[in-house]
Amino acid sequence: MPTTSATQDLELIIEKKPSNGGGGDLPPVDRDGGGDDGKRPSPSKPSPKRYYTGMALGIVSILMFFMALASAFLVRRGSGDWVPIHIPALIWINTAVLLISSATLEMARQRLAKGELEAYKNLWLTTTVLGVFFLAGQVGAWRLLVAQGIYLASNPASSFFYIFTGAHALHLVGGVAALLYVAKRNFEKAQITRTVAAEVTSHYWHFMDALWLFLLALLYLGK
């Protein structure tokens, strides 16, 4: 199966644009000879492109969501009562774990593309376990803060720390669920193929990874 990247996706969309002005009785561009009644049966399965589009759009929405929070963070930081908090060192280890999970996921995807199912499955499960480790690590970081007496309601900075990490963790739980779903799903009966499901999930996972780096930079630089 060929891998479809986001750019190819985009090209496919653009390809649909016609050269003529939309009027006139020109037949559709890629009509093959014309059926007997002027209609052609559609392929039995709708194009899997919609999954890639759906994920890309989902990523845009989630990005907007976090951008709104980030703007609140930057504006709030300027108002008088800001008390900086210390980010626990555990966060850096968590970040490393998440980065490694993205790498293993990419390796899994390459194995799947080569048809090495066994290796793919192992790497895929490794990614899932690393994802769970990251989540556990985030909870650990919260406990470290709580031990210092820093709660959600303590001050604006702590509120934002918990909200950013919490909202990201919530989205990552969805990612872990998707990883498990792809691992367990029987794709013979499904509309979606394993390759498509794996790719769409990996797009989400890598996005979560990048988003975390952004949030961390924001929290670290803006504390």
Query: Which residues, 56 to 115, sit near other proteins by CB under 8 A?
Result: 57-58, 60-62, 64-69, 71-76, 79, 81
Q: Please, what is the minimum distance in Å from the beta carbon of residue 99 to other proteins? A: 26
Amino acid at 70: A
Q: Tokens for 100, please give them.
A: 């490694």
Taking a C-beta distance cutoff of 8 angstroms, is the pair 127, 101 a contact?
yes
Smaller CB distance to other proteins: residue 124 or 164?
164
Please work out the total of residues on this chain that contact other proteins, with binding judged by CB under 8 A: 59
Taking a C-beta distance cutoff of 8 angstroms, is the pair 137, 93 a contact?
yes
Segment contacting other proteins by CB under 8 A, of 117-125, 141-149, 152-160, 180-188: 152-160
Where does residue 110 rank: exposed (0-12), middle (13-18), buried (19+ CB within 10 A)?
middle
Taking a C-beta distance cutoff of 8 angstroms, is the pair 183, 153 a contact?
no
Comparing CA positions, the residue from 74, 68, 95, 90 lying closest to residue 213 is 95
Site string for other proteins, 159-178 (x = CB under 8 A): xx-xx---x-----------
Binding site for other proteins (CB under 8 A): 13, 16-18, 21-31, 34, 38-47, 49-50, 53-54, 57-58, 60-62, 64-69, 71-76, 79, 81, 152-153, 155-156, 159-160, 162-163, 167, 191
